[in-house]
């Protein structure tokens, strides 16, 4: 979602007007990564939640999320967005399988899905990604907060999650077996 | 994939030129459905393979496959394409979960994926869908052949599958536990 | 779980003393089925919750659950327990794939898992199973209540679920994309 | 499967006679781990296949596999068997989710499943596990061979896999998107 603000100069990048036009025509393919820390048996201990300043100036919480570009693989997009948001030393353990824990459907209008994206219809493949290195939030993220699953799933955090992604976090924690 | 040929007059439909332009900009979101028949315990008995005449006149084998349109849910797209290809009496048992058995990445160039689509970069969410009714292939499909998993996974069938979808069939059968 | 009370006279059945001895030696393999009703696109509308009288006389809520017997397939166990609890006309749509939405670990002691089974260490493969027929609770179940996901996931229902299975219900609804 | 030969002195361990008795009564719960090496985007590069001398003296190929003991979690069993077979420096990246890529059913008689275990009815939860450290096969394994997916799925390797686990390897590679 942060793509618009600091575009990478790579093929697949679209101008603002091309992007607006395209968004009106087709669902946009996204990836989401829920950053986690695990113990040595793979059990999730903490979830990484980003604090971001939205274009309107308000502060929101989010996870790693971004567009898959033309010609880019899903793995490539995951890797690129994680590096953009968490820095080059995050050492993500990317999933072996392309099967996501859920397929998240965002609509610009209410009533279809609990997830919302005012800019577009987006379909996002969502993954849990353990980080074994040092995460340094970059870009327009102010801070990365590591929270226990219990804290991350609290109502107060869920309400501040961008686009209704509190639901995505609950789905991620259900999948890893960490629902409180 | 059949969408181009008999477009539905619904929002989300694109003209040929809009479609060509969009395909050059972003990955196109697709769904695939592997039609199956099961016994009363859910075990797959047969796979439904469509015979189709390609635009070039050659005969190819395929499964149900098509684009997700702007504003359409993944479930809606699955339902629409199944009805378009297999008729209104097919009675598909659509999946309860949006999680696909695989995410299939098609590129217009070789070397990235075993899957190929000369028209576009497409990312397809692939599902196994039991049909409990009467499948009547419509549209540009000539015939629906029900084959055992062993026959459907044979090299001769795999070679005739559109876009390398023999790989998708093997992934589907691996997921349902029917690899020979 | 109901197995003990009205054993089926089939191979794999164990006497009370054999069962007690075995339970002290190895984890017992179980299956769970969350009965659901869906719309014609596979979207879950309602969850079937059983009301049961526990051996101690108190009333608890549960889902279909039972042991996999020696020589029995996972599909066979699912089918048998669904028929035992919901009757022969329930017409379950059993899963095509053996992959469960979660693996539930029940321990007789606290602290390892939110799931609890005082009798044994049990590991249960959990599935969502749409019922297309007429469910008639049999056996020791008093009643089958169809609830919306929102109602089924309420705290009051979760508290009455046997063995902490409120967590299992939340995982099932996360997987089908129906978390409120 | 190697458990019998060098038992760990921990609770859950069974004598030969208790084990034989238990195996005749209930399905035994197992875990399987397919050791892999991945690139920095999670794509599987190589599969680790163990060479083992079977009790009869013949040489067979296998993956990490073993029993879940009473009181032991699935994660605990995975971790223990990986360490036993691949040494303490293997640094496995254990799965975040307990959901396996397949549930493998082994029967002591033919005809039910392509998987076979002459000793028992076993149900095994199968996972793909990237190894980031140094694997030193221990125990009764002679050697660990790293093979490309193409080589590991060849007919000659599949035929030498213990209990029909060539099928399991194909399912693992289907799930990670590496079917040739």
Q: How confident is the model at residue B6 (pLDDT cuts 50, 70, 90)?
A: very low
- The predicted-structure confidence for B138-161, as pLDDT tens digits, reads as follows 867 679 999 999 999 999 999 999
Q: Give the closest of B25, B68, B112 to A73, CB-based.
A: B112
CA distance A56 to chain D (A): 34
Distances, alpha carbon B13 to alpha carbons A118, B19, B138, in Å: 21, 9, 20
Question: Residue C163: which H helix or E strand, with range?
Answer: none
d(CA D56, CA C115): 42
- Interface residues on D facing A, Cβ-Cβ cutoff 8 A: 36, 38, 40-44, 75-76, 78-79, 93-99, 101, 128, 130, 175-177
Per-residue three-class SS string for B81-92: HHHHHHCCCCCE
* CA end-to-end distance (rounded Å), chain D: 29
Q: Is the ipTM of this complex over 0.90?
A: yes
The residue in chain C having the minimum alpha-carbon distance to the alpha carbon of residue B41 is C94
CA distance D174 to chain B (A): 5
CA distance B139 to chain A (A): 23
Find residue B35's DSSP bridge partners.
Answer: B129
Q: Write down the pLDDT at residue A85.
A: 93
Q: pLDDT tens track of chain D, all 180 residues?
A: 333 444 444 567 899 999 999 999 999 999 999 999 999 999 999 999 999 877 788 889 999 999 999 999 999 999 999 999 999 999 999 999 999 999 999 999 998 898 999 999 999 999 999 999 999 998 676 799 999 999 999 999 999 999 999 999 999 999 999 987
d(CA D118, CA D23): 11
Strands (E) across B131-162 are located at 141-147
Angle between helices A166-176 and C166-176 (to 10 degrees): 120
Q: Write down the pLDDT at residue D4.
A: 43
d(CA D141, CA D95): 24
Q: State pTM to two decimals.
A: 0.93
The residue in chain A having the minimum alpha-carbon distance to the alpha carbon of residue B24 is A70
Q: Write down the pLDDT at residue B2.
A: 38
- The predicted-structure confidence for A101-119, as pLDDT tens digits, reads as follows 999 999 999 988 989 999 9
Please list the alpha-helical segments (H only) found in chain C.
16-23, 74-86, 149-152, 155-160, 166-176
Q: Quick check: C174 and A170 CB within 8 A? A: yes
Which among B14, B27, B172 is the top mutation candidate for probing chain A, defined by the most A β-carbons within 10 Å of its own β-carbon?
B27
The residue in chain C having the minimum alpha-carbon distance to the alpha carbon of residue B80 is C41
Q: Quick check: C170 and A177 CB within 8 A? A: no
Residue B46 contacts by C-beta under 8 Å, 6 or more apart in sequence?
Answer: B36, B37, B146, B147, B148, B149
The residue in chain B having the minimum alpha-carbon distance to the alpha carbon of residue C79 is B41
With beta carbons under 8 A apart, name residues in chain B contacting A18.
25
- The predicted-structure confidence for A30-42, as pLDDT tens digits, reads as follows 999 999 999 999 9
């Amino acid at each position: 979602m942060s793509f618009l603000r600091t575009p990478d100069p790579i093929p697949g990048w679209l101008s603002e007007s091309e992007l607006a036009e395209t968004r009106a025509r087709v669902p946009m393919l996204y990836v989401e990564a829920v950053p986690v820390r695990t113990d040595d048996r793979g059990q999730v201990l903490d979830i990484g939640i980003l604090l971001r300043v939205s274009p309107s100036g308000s502060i929101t919480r989010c996870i790693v999320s971004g567009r898959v570009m033309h010609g880019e693989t899903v793995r490539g997009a995951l890797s690129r967005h994680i590096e953009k948001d968490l820095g080059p030393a995050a050492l993500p353990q990317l999933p072996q399988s392309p099967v996501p824990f859920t397929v998240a459907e965002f609509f610009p209008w209410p009533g279809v899905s609990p997830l919302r994206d005012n800019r577009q219809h987006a379909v996002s493949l969502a993954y849990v990604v353990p980080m074994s290195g040092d995460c340094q939030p970059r870009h327009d993220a102010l801070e990365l907060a590591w929270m226990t699953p219990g804290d991350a799933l609290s109502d107060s955090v869920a309400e501040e999650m961008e686009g209704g992604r509190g639901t995505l976090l609950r789905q991620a924690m259900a999948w890893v077996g960490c629902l409180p």
